[in-house]
């Protein structure tokens, strides 16, 4: 067989030799497959910005906790009581957002579970010496028992939540609120009926959370100041539990259920079991919120747990941003504090009239404002307040020079 290649073509016998390094080529990047280091050395690769962002978030959270811990030394009782109400709403909103925003189960039963926690704590902690029943438990144990009781109530409702979904689940859960009102008004030996009953003050290992406390660093430290730290600890624990649950296998399973129950079941997720667990956890969160409300208000009445509370909590998570723990915190702070602040400053704000005068009261104005906020979020900012904050704090990338622009 003849060779048809031209003379001097020896491609079959020669191999490519590496070009010597003359120092004029592009520098070594040192980037590994794992994305560890980039051109600038350690910390400038893809993982560097993530680590710096996590460090910034951790430093901001630590700073916020330090500031929150110092507030009782500087604020008066109005602002501290407002903070306690916000903390209770934060805990309840986190539980509802876990159920609605993260799992996709629409529930309006939160007032029932909040009432279960509040009245459960009051009944377990009261000594029963008066006309109303009481178990006489230590108050710290009664608080834990009330949270467990609310979680059990949510677990008992789980078979219904596992069978229905969407608007049908919302209507079915609203029936729990109606049932709760009937029980609160008729179980007079336990709840006190229309007049309600007083909640015993917390006593934690001999430390009484009442108004008989002494001074600390020259500042009177009574019930509100001491209860501030309890509410802060409970709110931080509730936030940390929700935030950590999202990145676990059960959290991803709950997110898969939100995306579609059929697809989640095809991936091996036991849908009824996880839906029941989500409902029980959300109910336990609501029970903790009920205990904090009972300790803050010191008296429970059935009218506090009506349907209006259900829509208020739904507004919290929608305004804050569904599926975001930060959104639940921001939405709870907005919806809870707005009517109180409007009522507090009604004498200095135009167009607001006194309660019962027939004009635009602070409570009605607050409902109009956060109703408008819900509409604005649905139309213009699906991420809610949390999404707006992330967009505002996100650093803007500078335009990079391209080869076409460098000539």
Q: What is the pLDDT of residues 196-254, one digit of tens each?
A: 999 998 888 777 777 766 666 667 777 888 899 999 999 999 999 998 888 888 888 88
Express each pLDDT in 327-351 by its tens digit: 999 999 999 999 898 888 877 777 7
The position carrying tokens 């501030």 is 228
Which residues fall within 8 angstroms of residue 42, CB to CB, at 6 or more apart?
A: 36, 48
Q: How far is CA 251 from CA 44, 120, 256, 257, 272, in A?
A: 31, 29, 9, 10, 15
Q: What is the largest CA-CA distance in the chain?
A: 116
- Predicted local confidence at residue 50, as pLDDT: 63
Distance CA 283, CA 279 (A): 6
Q: How far is CA 96 from CA 113, 139, 257, in A?
A: 11, 26, 16
Question: What does the mean pLDDT of the chain come to?
Answer: 81
Express each pLDDT in 128-187 by its tens digit: 777 888 888 999 999 999 999 999 999 998 888 777 778 888 888 899 999 999 999 999
Note the pTM of the prediction, 2 decimals: 0.81
Percent residues over pLDDT 70 in the chain: 80
The yes-or-no verdict on residue 106 having pLDDT over 50 is yes
Distance CA 252, CA 254 (A): 5
Cβ(96)–Cβ(313) below 8 Å: yes
Question: Span 91-114, mean pLDDT?
Answer: 92
The yes-or-no verdict on residue 387 having pLDDT over 90 is no
Angle, vertex CA 31, rays to CA 29 and CA 35, nearest 5? 150
- Predicted local confidence at residue 182, as pLDDT: 94
Q: Report the DSSP pairing between strands 197-198 and 203-204.
A: unpaired
Distance CA 128, CA 116 (A): 18
Long-range contacts made by residues 30-34, C-beta under 8 angstroms, separation at least 24?
Answer: none
Least confidently predicted of 10-24, 51-65, 266-280: 10-24
Which residues fall within 8 angstroms of residue 52, CB to CB, at 6 or more apart?
A: 43
SS3 content of the chain, % helix, strand, coil (to 5): 65, 5, 35
The yes-or-no verdict on residue 3 having pLDDT over 70 is no
């Amino acid at each position: 067989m003849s060779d048809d290649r031209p003379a001097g073509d020896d491609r079959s016998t020669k191999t490519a030799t590496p070009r010597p390094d003359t120092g004029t080529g592009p520098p070594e990047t040192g980037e590994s497959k794992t994305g560890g280091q980039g051109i600038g050395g350690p910390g400038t690769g893809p993982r560097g910005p993530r680590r710096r962002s996590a460090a910034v978030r951790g430093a901001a959270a630590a700073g916020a906790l330090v500031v929150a811990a110092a507030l009782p030394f500087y604020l008066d009782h109005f602002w501290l009581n407002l903070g306690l109400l916000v903390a209770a709403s934060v805990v309840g909103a986190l539980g509802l957002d876990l159920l609605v925003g993260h799992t996709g189960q629409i529930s309006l039963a939160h007032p029932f579970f909040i009432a279960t926690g509040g009245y459960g704590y009051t009944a377990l902690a009261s000594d029963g010496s008066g006309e109303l029943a009481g178990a006489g438990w230590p108050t710290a144990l009664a608080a834990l028992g009330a949270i467990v009781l609310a979680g059990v109530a949510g677990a008992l409702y789980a078979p219904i939540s596992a069978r229905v979904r969407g608007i049908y689940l919302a209507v079915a859960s609203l029936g729990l609120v109606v049932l709760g009102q009937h029980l609160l008004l008729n179980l007079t030996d336990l709840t006190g009926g229309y007049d309600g009953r007083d909640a015993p003050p917390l006593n934690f290992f001999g430390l009484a959370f009442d108004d008989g406390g002494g001074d600390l660093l020259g500042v009177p430290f009574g019930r509100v100041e001491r209860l501030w730290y309890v509410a802060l600890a409970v709110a931080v624990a509730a936030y940390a539990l929700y935030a950590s649950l999202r990145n676990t296998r059960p959290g991803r399973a709950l997110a898969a259920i939100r995306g579609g129950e059929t697809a989640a079941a095809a991936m091996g997720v036991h849908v009824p079991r996880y839906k029941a667990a989500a409902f029980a956890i959300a109910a336990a969160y609501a029970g903790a919120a009920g205990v904090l409300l009972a300790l803050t208000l010191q008296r429970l009445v059935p009218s506090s747990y009506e349907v209006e509370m259900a829509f208020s909590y739904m507004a919290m998570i929608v305004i804050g941003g569904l599926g975001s723990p930060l959104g639940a915190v921001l939405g709870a702070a907005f919806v809870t504090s707005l009517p109180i602040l409007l009522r507090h400053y009604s004498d200095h704000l135009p167009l607001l009239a006194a309660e019962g005068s027939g004009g635009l009261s602070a409570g009605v104005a607050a409902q109009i404002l956060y109703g408008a906020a819900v509409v604005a979020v649905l139309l213009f900012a699906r991420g809610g307040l949390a999404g707006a904050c992330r967009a505002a704090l996100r650093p803007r990338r500078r335009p990079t020079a391209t080869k076409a622009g460098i000539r």
